Amino acid sequence: MTFAVAVRRQGYRVAFALLRAYWFVRRPILHGVKCVLTDGDQVLLVRHTYGPREWDLPGGAVRRGEPPADTARREMQEELGIAIDSWTPLGDVWAEIHYARDTLHCYRAELRDPAFSFARAELGAARWFPRDRLPPDIKPYVPRILALLDGTEPAR
């Protein structure tokens, strides 16, 4: 790992700690995006370099005035270097994440070329997993979002 990546990782960790303190005090209502990237029966999960190191779906915060589908495009380009223009909306899932009430706008894209390169400052790992053999240490909302693929989780 280069010095620049190490410094940026530390910046993410400090920013996350400050946000968590703010969320604890304010209990804000937020909007985020979670992207279900699939390659057949495989799903891409990531581990962030900040916060709990559980496996998660890639995504990020919706910026003020930004449509969620644009957030999905932006985040996949920033985090994984993947340009995706065609998204299938799956619906919304509500989750309380670190004291914030978050509406997660969920999108899906099937990748024809599952190669990617991830932003090492923000992501510690990114890996394909079979949907029926997910790792045990995943964020609690991930199974609910993946259930949207099968139509078994009601969209909210």
Domain ranges (residues) in the chain: 3-150
Question: What is the per-residue pLDDT across 86-114, written as a single tens digit (0 to 9) for each?
Answer: 899 999 999 988 878 899 999 999 998 77
Q: What is the mean pLDDT of residues 2-14?
A: 82
Name the residue among 58, 37, 38 with its Cα closest to residue 46. 58
Question: Does the structure show a pLDDT above 80 at 70?
Answer: yes
Q: How confident is the model at residue 152 (pLDDT cuts 50, 70, 90)?
A: low
Cβ proximity of 27 and 17 under 8 Å:
no
pLDDT for 114:
77
In the chain, % of residues over pLDDT 70: 96
Q: Confirm if 57 and 35 have CB atoms less than 8 A apart.
A: yes
Spell out the residues 6+ positions from residue 58 whose beta carbon is closer than 8 angstroms to its own. 34, 35, 37, 44, 46, 75, 76, 79, 80, 123, 126
What confidence tens digit (pLDDT) does each residue in 17-49 have?
Answer: 887 777 688 888 889 999 999 999 999 999 999
Selection from 137, 139, 143, 115 nearest residue 127 by Cα: 115
Q: Where does 3-150 sit in CATH, by number?
A: 3.90.79.10
Burial class for 119, CB neighbours closer than 10 Å (0-12, 13-18, 19+) = middle
What the block records as the tokens of 80 is 């994984």
From CA 84, how far away is CA 31, in angstroms rounded? 20
Region of 81 on the Ramachandran plot (φ > 0 left; ψ -120 to 50 alpha; else beta): left
The region of weakest confidence among 71-75, 78-82, 135-139, 150-154 is 150-154
Per the model's pLDDT, the better-predicted residue between 143 and 13 turns out to be: 143
Both tokens of 69, joined, read 């589908």
